[in-house]
Amino acid sequence: LLLLWSITVSIFGIGGLVGSSGSRYLTVKFGKKKCLLCNNVLMIVAASIMGCSKISQSFEMILIGRFMCGVSAGLCVPLHHQYVGEISPKKLRGFANSTSSFFWTLGKAIGQISGQRELLGSRSLWPLLMASCGVPALVQLVTLPFFPESPPYLLMQKGDQEGCKKAIRQLWGEGQHQAEMDDIMREKAAMKNTKILSVLELVKEPAFRWQLYMIVTLTSTIQLCGINAV
Residue 15 confidence (pLDDT): 92
Closest CA to 120 of 50, 63, 167, 56: 50
Residue 205 confidence (pLDDT): 83
| CATH no. for 1-147 | 1.20.1250.20
For residue 88, what is the DSSP state?
Answer: S
Residue 158 confidence (pLDDT): 75
Residue 230 confidence (pLDDT): 65
**CB-based burial of residue 131 (10 Å sphere; 0-12 exposed, 13-18 middle, 19+ buried)?**
buried
**CB-based burial of residue 182 (10 Å sphere; 0-12 exposed, 13-18 middle, 19+ buried)?**
exposed
Residue 229 confidence (pLDDT): 65
Residue 228 confidence (pLDDT): 63
Per-residue pLDDT for the chain (230 aa), expressed as one digit of tens each?
Answer: 889 889 988 999 999 999 888 888 888 788 888 889 999 999 999 999 999 999 988 888 999 999 999 999 999 888 888 888 888 887 888 888 888 878 888 888 888 898 898 888 888 888 999 899 899 999 999 999 998 888 888 877 777 777 877 887 887 777 666 777 777 777 766 666 677 777 788 888 888 889 989 988 988 887 787 766 66
Cβ contact 20:131 at 8 Å: no
- CA dist., res. 93 & res. 66, Å (int): 32
Closest CA to 154 of 58, 28, 19: 28
Report phi then psi at 193, rounded to 5. Answer: -100, 5
Residue 29 confidence (pLDDT): 82
Confidence (pTM)? 0.79
Residue 177 confidence (pLDDT): 67
